[in-house]
Amino acid sequence: MASRSFARIPWVTETLVRSTEAACEELRSSRLFLKLLEAVLKTGNRMNVGTNRGDAHAFKLDTLLKLVDVKGTDGKTTLLHFVVQEIIRSEGSRLASASSSTTKTQPNTL
């Protein structure tokens, strides 16, 4: 029985490695994940302006885990909420301007 379990270990390991590689590739090619990383960096730099940590060019990935620990003055809103709202605001305005320029260039079909 134990030998059968050990025989499955390479298959399970290979499956986990493939899943992890696929997830990493999806994140690498995700425009919104890149936006999230940029927004986290900008927010951190704004929060630390005037200190030796205020002009960072990078951050450790475990910083992403801390975004839910930093709370706003209401005690409910987290830094993650704020960062996501900023992305939605900037992406929304970008999409709105792209949509309006597309609308202006399309002929009237009425």
Residue 100 has what pLDDT?
A: 67
Stretch 18-46: mean pLDDT, rounded?
95
Residue 21 has what pLDDT?
A: 98
Check pLDDT > 70 for residue 51: yes
The model's pTM is: 0.68
Check pLDDT > 90 for residue 83: yes
Residue percentage of the chain with pLDDT more than 90:
65
Stretch 78-95: mean pLDDT, rounded?
88
State the angle between helix axes of 79-105 and 31-47 in degrees (0 to 180), rounded to the nearest 10.
Answer: 130
